[in-house]
Amino acid sequence: MTEDEKYLLDKIRKGDEAAFKVIYNRYVPRLYYFVYEYIPHHDLVENIVQDALMVLWDKRSKLEENTNIGAYLFTVAKNNCLYKLRDQRYRQKLFESDIDEPELKANLDALSVLDTSLITMTEIERIIETTLNQLPPQCKTVFTLSRFEEKKNKEIAEELGISVKAVEGHISKALKLFRNSLKDYLPIMAFLFMH
């Protein structure tokens, strides 16, 4: 767990709304891409993501000091997805949006075996760190600014004094390496590859 995560966890356990807002902004896109992978229905996805964040807020005082916020949120979202994929009312809603029974079954099966535990999140963090360190310095800086600080390509280009094309090239190079190193975790890591 990074120092930033520890700090946010400590703050949220004490009811700090600003820390919750940071967590909210950081995890909403990640959770959205993750849930949409299994339940391609925007209304249901938004409900599941909001529910996961509300559970975190409601149970904040009971969180252990070593709670991995990402693992916690993904596990809550995964369990909510499984519930909705098994519940007849939600299945009917999904059928109405042109999702067929075999696809629902495949999504349910895939989600059932997906590991969102602390061990998996720790492994993902390790792989991300290792992969980042394999990138050339400029490429690492560009990718960090793009995916972790969520800056636009034009902003990055201006900040680093390089062209937008160069920024795009660095991001492309980094994504290729990340796709390979995180291939076993793509449903959880989809947010890295979206923009």
- Same domain, residue pair 111 and 146: no
- Same domain, residue pair 74 and 164: no
Q: Is residue 127 exposed (0-12), middle (13-18) or buried (19+ Cβ within 10 Å)?
A: middle
Question: pLDDT tens digits for 62-88?
Answer: 998 888 888 899 889 988 988 887 776
Residue 167 within a domain: yes
Question: pLDDT tens digits for 176-190?
Answer: 888 888 777 766 666
- End of a domain among 116, 151, 179? 116
Q: For residue 59, what is the domain's CATH number?
A: 1.10.1740.10
Residue 195 within a domain: no
CA distance 8 to 16: 9
- Same domain, residue pair 14 and 110: yes
Q: Mean of the pLDDT values across residues 123-130? A: 80
Asked whether the beta carbons of 44 and 84 are under 8 A apart, the reply is yes
Residue 194 within a domain: no
Question: How does the average pLDDT of the chain come out, rounded?
Answer: 82
- Same domain, residue pair 108 and 136: no
**Between vectors from CA 30 to CA 22 and to CA 156, what angle results, nearest 5°?**
70
Q: For residue 176, what is the domain's CATH number?
A: 1.10.10.10
Residue 57 within a domain: yes
Residue type, 142: V
Which domain, by its residues, includes 149? 120-189
CA distance 128 to 118: 15
Q: How many domains does the chain have?
A: 2
Question: pLDDT tens digits for 4-48?
Answer: 788 889 999 999 999 999 999 888 888 888 888 888 878 888 999
- Higher pLDDT, residue 12 or 100: 12
- Same domain, residue pair 98 and 183: no
Angle between helices 186-193 and 17-38 (to 10 degrees): 110
- Same domain, residue pair 107 and 151: no
| For residue 163, pLDDT beyond 90 | yes
pLDDT of residue 89: 66
